[in-house]
């Protein structure tokens, strides 16, 4: 008789998280067009590269936090240039994750911190309102 390994609750919750986010992404794609999947792909690739670098430097000791990088592209304003996504995610990772040890030990949500970095540093290209 073979031993069947049980799945942990975090694996089950992450699967349900992505299943429940699918209609939200499809609705955003229908409303805002091709920039939503482009932002999603770019944030996932950036997150995967950040996670690989962190795994090699022993900053990360758990699985890839895909939900963090999937939710990020839903919160950013889609009027911004796409090249700001890797800059904001990398800056948030440097501040929130590496400063405090790991993904589970941070005091700031990295996605929220990335949006704060975008608004503080690149407010003219992120804001839909022109102040001139």
Q: Which residue has the higher pLDDT, 66 or 104?
A: 66
pLDDT of residue 12: 66
SS3 for 73-114 is: HHHCCCCCCCCHHHHHHHHHHHHHHCCCCCCCCCCCCHHHHH
pTM over 0.75: no
pLDDT of residue 17: 76
pLDDT of residue 11: 63
Report the distance separating Cα 121 and Cα 95, nearest Å. 15
**Sign of the CA dihedral with 91 first, then 96, 102, and 103 last:** negative
Q: Which two tokens stand for residue 86?
A: 């890797």
Q: Once rounded to an integer, what is the mean pLDDT over residues 79-102? A: 81
pLDDT of residue 33: 85
Give the three-class secondary structure for 128: coil
pLDDT of residue 73: 83
């Amino acid at each position: 008789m073979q031993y069947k390994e049980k799945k942990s609750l975090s694996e089950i919750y992450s699967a349900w998280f992505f299943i429940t986010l699918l209609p939200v992404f499809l609705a955003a794609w229908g409303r805002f067009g091709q920039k939503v999947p482009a932002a999603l792909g770019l944030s996932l690739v950036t997150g995967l590269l950040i996670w690989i670098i962190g795994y090699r430097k022993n900053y990360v000791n758990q699985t890839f936090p895909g939900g963090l990088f999937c939710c990020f592209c839903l919160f950013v304003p889609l009027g911004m240039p796409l090249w700001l996504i890797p800059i904001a995610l990398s800056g948030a990772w440097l501040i929130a994750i590496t400063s405090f040890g790991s993904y589970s030990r941070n005091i700031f949500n990295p996605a929220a911190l990335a949006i704060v970095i975008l608004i503080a540093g690149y407010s003219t290209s992120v804001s839909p309102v022109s102040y001139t």
